[in-house]
Amino acid sequence: MQPTFTSSRILLPVRPWFIVTSLFFALLGNLLPTSHWPGIPDWVALVLCFWSIREPRRVGMGWAFALGLAMDVADGAVLGQHCFAYVLLAYTAAAQSRRILWFPVVEQALQILPLLLGAQVLQLLMRVVAGADFPGWGYLIGPVLGALLWIPGTFLLLLPQYQPVERDENRPL
């Protein structure tokens, strides 16, 4: 018998301030000087992908464009590089959200890997076409680590939505 990583607990609705706060901290994570080291995941892409899958009506291509524009300005990158990659990531994640959510969390990470890798390769192609040097194959390790971080990241980002375990006899749910 295989262990399942799904929970039968009913989640509370997500609070909009929590989504904004998590995206803000992901943006701050990308602004750290260590974010350009090989193997460090793109935090904005990871959190944006998470919320585009979990809450596609609240977080979508508009948020992706705004965050991508902020990353383009902060990195001094080709204007539109992060925007284009994040918008495609958000669109693809939202389009596949129902299918991805059927899987347990470990298998979701396998579904997320091509999305994060595609966004990273798209940014790499735009940089190289604009005349930048190839940063090396270590640049593509970040999405793999991001997919591995999907498992604890899902737990952390869903933690405020869990209902208490104790039951109230006066409530039906």
Q: For the chain, which residues make up each domain, given as ranges?
A: 16-30+37-161
Q: Give the pLDDT mean for 145-172.
A: 83
166: alpha, beta or left? (left if phi > 0; alpha if psi -120 to 50):
beta
> Which of 93, 67, 94 is CA-nearest to residue 81?
67
Q: What is the mean pLDDT of the chain?
A: 88
- Per-residue pLDDT at 25 exceeds 70: yes
What predicted TM-score, i.e. pTM, was given to this entire model?
Answer: 0.87
Residue 76: the pLDDT is 82
Residue 1: the pLDDT is 47
Residue 7: the pLDDT is 57
